[in-house]
Chain A
């Protein structure tokens, strides 16, 4: 197992956002996480990446306990993520966004930086090369010199994915990667997700768009912080609990 969530619980004062949640993700899987608004999906991502602290439970990644790890330590272990809102450094250009995200490797020491040594220059040239590759992969190479804040919404989200890829993640958490996108942009995003799967990146994505969910190997359904169903897409679609959660009890059965 790459990622294991064991009895994860998060309380916000009196509100139970995530309740006794168990989930396992295997290497190379593409898992969809769905559920009505407020089900706790983004909270779950924030718990995995260390932005929020668990009330109780345990999360392990690649055999390492990451329950108490801070966000940058989690990233260092190989978990990349995107954000729904403010997914980028808005005052940087597209290319700079990716370059700045190449923080972990190759690494330069402060004296290298200060004296502009050959190692540093080689590292930076290397990073630029790799950043351009990522932008090519995601179809963003045409806008590489635009400022982040001047990008259309869909491109921002794709840039969020590009940034996350700079971490060279083993596991990628995508928070609504196609939210509010135009049809062209959805194609672009789907193409990007497909290519990452081919490269063997494990992906967990939160999504409302069923077109994207159809791609997933497995779907986990959340409601009120609890897991209500799990399985292949077709099976989950017929699940009574799921229909009830989305459409109300009168539509079930």
Chain B
């Protein structure tokens, strides 16, 4: 049995247009059956965090571990929220603005440190993430500091359903874009760099340039998600964007399976949405999360998506063997 390795090239295109359309129709029809605004709040958060987690993994495919990713979500959120609140711009302009600011800051971080690899990059980005949080606290006149920023203009008021459709559309578009990128030449080049930067350089790949590109694109989507989050929630605070938030993202990605595009999505649903839905057991949520994490790490080293892939290839192998033994 062959396991799917992490960060494979052009294989494993798993998007089945039919299945995706079906899922989308179910999601679009959801408001017909579900009436609880609380549930839609959870769904909306899930959709936002799917963008963040998938863009986090996009940077990881280039072999870097950005421990500041939630911070970039924060850059997008604060840039958009302050522009809307203090300059009076409409959120429809500040959201792309926030995303672009996050991308710009991502490039600024990527540029000088693009030559650092693996753990060194992780350390630098860790400090960069802290720097973002400290800056927010330092400029508390505009950002609200540690107390949080309130009174951010919202996109559609306080009803959850319009947001639900908005996020459904946004997340679908973002996922499609990132999926495209992952299985394109750019994605293959990122994965090549992650496997061996020396070999990659020997065929003319400019490692630094591609790492910066990965960082820029990852931060753009994180910033976009952060900005929409700000105009959805109306209130933002630094705790959503600190180190702990990044570590949680990392856990979502690993539990879901870093080797697969769908891993982070599975991770977010499994570790964020489901515990959130077990509202009555709120005190036990950390224990449930920890238990899921331990189980995954022990029995599914490639995450849930990795296990699903293994089962799938095991099953096709089995069928193939059966067919050949029947034939002989």
Contacts and interface: CB of A to CB of B under 8 A. Distances in A.
Real binding pair: yes
Interface of A: 49, 51, 70-72, 75-76, 80-81, 83, 86-93, 96, 99-104, 108, 110, 113-114, 116, 120, 124, 147, 149-150, 163-164, 166-167
Contacts of B207: 72
Given A89-B191, A91-B6, 18 more contacts: A49-B202, A72-B205, A75-B202, A75-B204, A83-B198, A83-B199, A86-B196, A86-B199, A89-B196, A89-B200, A91-B191, A93-B9, A96-B188, A100-B9, A102-B203, A114-B180, A116-B180, A166-B203
B4 to A, nearest CB: 10
Contacts of A71: 198, 201-202
14 contacts: A51-B201, A72-B205, A72-B207, A75-B201, A89-B191, A89-B192, A91-B7, A93-B9, A100-B191, A113-B181, A113-B184, A116-B180, A147-B2, A149-B5
A147 B184 CA distance: 19
Contacts of A81: 202
A100 B192 contact: yes
B186 interface: yes
B177 interface: yes
B185 interface: yes
B176 to A, nearest CB: 11
B206 interface: yes
B274 to A, nearest CB: 31
A87 B195 CA distance: 11
A166 B8 CA distance: 20
Given A91-B195, A92-B195, A113-B186, A104 B204 contact: yes
A167 B202 CA distance: 9
A93 B8 CA distance: 8
B202 A164 contact: yes
A91 to B, nearest CB: 4
B205 A103 contact: yes
Q: Which of B6, B8, B10 has the most CB of A within 10 A?
A: B10
Contacts of A103: 189, 203-205
Give me the 5 closest cross-chain CB pairs, A-B, nearest first.
A71-B201, A96-B9, A75-B204, A101-B203, A91-B5
A167 B204 contact: yes
Contacts of A166: 203
A14 B205 CA distance: 33
Interface residues of B, number: 31
Contacts of B196: 86, 88-90
Contacts of A87: 199
Nearest to A163: B203
Contacts of A124: 185
Given A91-B191, A114-B181, A99 B9 contact: yes
Given A92-B192, A99-B188, A113-B186, A163 B9 contact: no
B13 interface: no
Interface in B243-301: none
A82 to B, nearest CB: 8
B189 to A, nearest CB: 7
A148 to B, nearest CB: 9
A167 B10 CA distance: 20
Nearest to A108: B185
A100 B189 contact: yes
B180 A163 contact: no
Interface in B1-42: 2, 5-11
Contacts of B199: 83, 86-89, 163
Contacts of A51: 198, 201
Contacts of B9: 92-93, 96, 99-100
A132 B49 CA distance: 41
B203 A92 contact: no
A96 B184 CA distance: 12
Nearest to B201: A71
B140 to A, nearest CB: 38
Nearest to A46: B198
Given A91-B5, A91-B6, A110 B186 contact: yes
